[in-house]
Structure 1
């Protein structure tokens, strides 16, 4: 359904030179019909930027330098604005990270729900209101008539997130991108939101891209996982295989940093250092400054290599260990 090929995005600097600073570097991601794809990595790795590129919502300073965004065979990058609007919000919906900043404080929930329905679906005001109330009920909001007339600030975080989901699915999209849909929610509300997304996906047969820092959520929801680091895809695998035996040292470090309940007191594992800024990427492997397996060979950028079946990895060490038939350990 969606095939992102070698997408490269850069930001124009604010200095007089107007230089282009890279942010995404040759990102390739694909998702089939009805599939749930997980997108993971630390903040600043390019997950949200990739989704904004698909939606055509990149900041004004961003420039798509190369690549293709194929949706059902059509390259979204070559569509005119009017054609793009027939895809964005209709066939592709998105749940943004923070509903409080995504929902307008000046309009009621009902007005914000009806806007897309009237614009994209050509509904009358009466039809849009009926559909909006049905959507509020569908996403599990009690008293939809009351909420319809309320403003975002009057709702809890979980309720606002449900409203965002209602807006995103209002036109019954073929693909839904959920960017951190459970951030800052309590455990009970988080579980309810995830159950709701899974139910909506089953009912509508839509594809789902789930962006999350919570690897437990990814393991529960996704059939395939893409790991991003410093603007690149560094590992891609079936979810079960990735969690059973992660290949890239960064993926192993992410899993090791996941908090666990244990009988004895242990310090949480922390990945040393931080994700390098785009101006610090250099020419070699971008994880080498934080990797205990880094060698002189890592001064050259490793390719994204197929290891077996649907598993790909961008790492000299991991690829070498696999080819030698030895188990990879980070």
Structure 2
């Protein structure tokens, strides 16, 4: 039987009713102070529970891991309780949900750090900006990230343990699993690339050293909640934020073989979604399949025909949709019936209230 978007998948015991994943998207709607998930977020995610799997917005594992205003955490008791309200709502609506674990590294702002210095593998600028809001008015804007400080070698094990503890907290909050954010120029990705990692200790230099942090995090998280409830996101072909590295593809494939050894439930491939984005070569997709035998998720400007094609070719098992889920809470049904997709309001992406967030209606029944 041909695999389609509407075929079920058993992912190491977690049965997904379809192959449609809601991709992680930062929306910056937490309660302040404390970056606490709230009832509005519970409504938003529950409305989208018909996805085969929801991956939450990126969620910081510690105060040091924050890079954008109003993004949620998973390191305080209030945050765990807030997320419990979200997972209860999603499960009541019949959904399944993983929490994305996030440490931004150098993609941050001085206002989030007592000493004004984000941390990174090396003191190299991302030449990029992050969204920072006025805590009083909630109005935000993109501001440049400062030069980070390089992590000391003896600081790194504590961050690995923060990922482990965050996974334990996610389980306490009722999530079905977690996704380690190893993509898009954030801390784990920064360790992987020579353009952002010029360390001379055991975490820098040759490939086996540059993947060490990723491997230690994956082993710690899988050891805490189980490899079958742990996924990871990677972005080999995304080079923005000063992340271009001619050696990243063999480095990613080497990491994938370690992910295979650990037995993680899935690799989530973040593909660029802008107009002139690089095309992912079929050779890489085949090489990734050869290196890793688990579930593969792809994300990056997929529409229904393109999604169906990559599933039929066996180069992916699940397809994640990001922006289409914003204005189309019932996206799986719209795709199934070929109903028109609503457009979202870009002005309401970050911050604010229910407008442009949880007020998009489901398609009217015929």
Greater relative CO (CA pairs within 8 A, separation 6+): 1
TM-score of the aligned structures, taking structure 2 as reference length: 0.40
Question: Which structure dedicates a bigger proportion of its chain to strand?
Answer: 1
Q: TM-score, normalised by structure 1?
A: 0.43
